[in-house]
């Protein structure tokens, strides 16, 4: 029994040693980046799960309606994720430059954020007729209302966490 324990201990040390030699430790910036990516990924999973749950409950669709709605919604959501990625990039740009923010950089970030916001509106305009066709106009309006409410809550949480420009 002691021989097995010694063997496993030696094996563990050998593996740990070889891993340590094979890899250089990440820089603080790399660690921060990895942590940020993981955090964003977890937030997205939670938001998606919560959003689907809210939409399912609030839309109150029968199985036939749900079969028509969810494929359209999933396409919309994929396009929305791309816009969210752009928004995250702009927020990171702001965070990276916050201490030394120039007028030029502030302008670039502000214009970028307004562009993303206008494309989110355009995306809803594009998908509203598709949801109306899959369901009814009233159901599509309900979807817009729910989507807007969720969006505003998420926007408020993000904006409240960002410091004001100095």
59, 139 Cβ separation under 8 angstroms: yes
Rank 31-35, 107-111, 149-153 by mean pLDDT and report only the highest.
107-111
Number of domains in the chain: 1
| Residue with the larger pLDDT of the pair 37 and 103 | 103
State the DSSP string of 24-35: PPPPHHHHHHHH
- pTM beyond 0.85: no
Residues 6+ apart with CB under 8 A from 135: 61, 65, 68, 69, 143
What are 21-54's pLDDT values in tens digits?
Answer: 446 676 766 565 555 556 556 665 667 788 999 9
Q: Is 60 left (phi over 0), alpha (psi -120 to 50) or beta?
A: left
10 is a domain residue: no
Is the per-residue pLDDT at 19 higher than 60?
Answer: no
| Residue with the larger pLDDT of the pair 55 and 25 | 55
Stretch among 45-49, 107-111, 124-128 having the lowest mean pLDDT = 45-49
149 is a domain residue: yes
Q: How far is CA 28 from CA 25, 33, 34, 35, 109, in A?
A: 9, 8, 10, 10, 25
Domain range enclosing 55: 28-161
1 is a domain residue: no
Q: Give the whole-angstrom CA distance, residue 143 versus residue 146.
A: 5
Q: Give the whole-angstrom CA distance, residue 109 versus residue 10.
A: 54
Q: Give the whole-angstrom CA distance, residue 161 versus residue 38.
A: 18
C-alpha of 114 from chain center: 18
The domain that holds 108 is classified in CATH as 1.20.120
């Amino acid at each position: 029994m002691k021989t097995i324990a010694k063997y496993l201990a030696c094996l563990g040390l050998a593996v740990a040693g070889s891993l340590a030699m094979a890899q250089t430790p990440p820089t603080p910036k790399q660690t921060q980046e990895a942590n940020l990516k993981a955090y964003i990924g977890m937030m997205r999973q939670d938001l998606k799960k919560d959003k689907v749950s809210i939409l399912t409950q609030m839309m109150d669709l029968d199985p036939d309606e749900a079969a028509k709605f969810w494929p359209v919604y999933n396409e919309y959501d994929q396009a929305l994720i791309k816009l969210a990625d752009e928004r995250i990039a702009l927020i990171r740009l702001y965070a990276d430059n916050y201490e030394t923010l120039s007028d030029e950089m502030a302008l670039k970030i502000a214009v970028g954020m307004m562009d993303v916001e206008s494309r989110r509106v355009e995306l809803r305009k594009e998908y509203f007729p598709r949801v109306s066709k899959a369901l009814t106009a009233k159901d599509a309006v309900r979807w817009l209302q729910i989507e807007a409410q969720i969006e505003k809550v998420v926007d408020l949480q993000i904006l409240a966490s960002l410091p004001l420009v100095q």
